Amino acid sequence: SQTIHQWPATLVQPVGSPLSLECTVEGTSNPNLYWYRQAAGRGLQLLFYSVGIGQISSEVPQNLSASRPQDRQFILSSKKLLLSDSGFYLCAYKQRGNTIYFGEGSWLTVV
Amino acid sequence: AQTVTQSQPEMSVQEAETVTLSCTYDTSENNYYLFWYKQPPSRQMILVIRQEAYKQQNATENRFSVNFQKAAKSFSLKISDSQLGDTAMYFCAFMKHVASGGSNYKLTFGKGTLLTVNP
């Protein structure tokens, strides 16, 4: 069965510091991978998606970047965090059944 | 661009009763998928139910069922015999195929409905 994990679960970082959130999927190959952000409030915003190694599409201009160094690994990064980067970040993958499944999420607080 | 609207920011229901959450969407696509996700206090996003637009039959999953009205672009979620563990934020989501240089599908979410089940 497929599983998805992301870490760290909670992160408190000062403004201007770098960021690295990692996500891995197991039990499947060549999945579509996604990073979503849920800011205070409710809605989920798609940040990046990837259909293969090294293939990254950005949905919104921002202070963040994403990379996919391996088939089942998706990394969300920033060189210098802003206060506005605070939020709940969710990694997700799509399996052949055209359903998207989510990881446990990572809380980022920029102080 | 697709939009998903959930007109009820908050709802409450008594335990064991039935509640219906509303969702409408706007699209020019004919083939797409619709989902309801549940986000409990743990914040993990959990799939509740999905519906393929080409299927006329409404999807059901145990106590959860949908009323899919394609012409009206409506996709409501009915929760029967509500349980305390159903307390969560519920998100309606739309997915279409995006063929931009590769196979891909993207989810568009509504803003959510906070459901509270009272004992």
Residue that has been written with the tokens 């990394």 in this structure: A75
Task: Inform me whether the C-beta atom of residue B43 falls under 8 Å from chain A C-beta atoms.
Answer: yes
B-chain CB neighbours of A99 within 8 Å are 33, 35, 47, 50
How many angstroms separate the CA atoms of A43 and B9, rounded? 12
pLDDT tens-digit readout, B41-50: 988 999 999 9
Res. B56 pLDDT band, cuts 50 70 90: confident
To the nearest whole Å, the CA of A10 is away from the closest chain B CA by 12
- B5 Cβ contact partners less than 8 Å away, ≥ 6 residues apart: B23, B24, B25, B26, B110
pLDDT, tens digit, 9 for 90 and up, residues A57-110 = 988 767 899 999 999 999 999 999 999 999 999 999 997 778 899 999 999 999
Q: Do B102 and A34 touch (CB under 8 A)?
A: no
Give DSSP secondary structure letters for A5-66.
EEE-SEEEE-TT--EEEEEEEES-SS-EEEEEEE-SSS-EEEEEEEEETTEEEESS--S-EE
Q: Which residues contact B55 (CB under 8 A, 6 or more apart)?
A: none
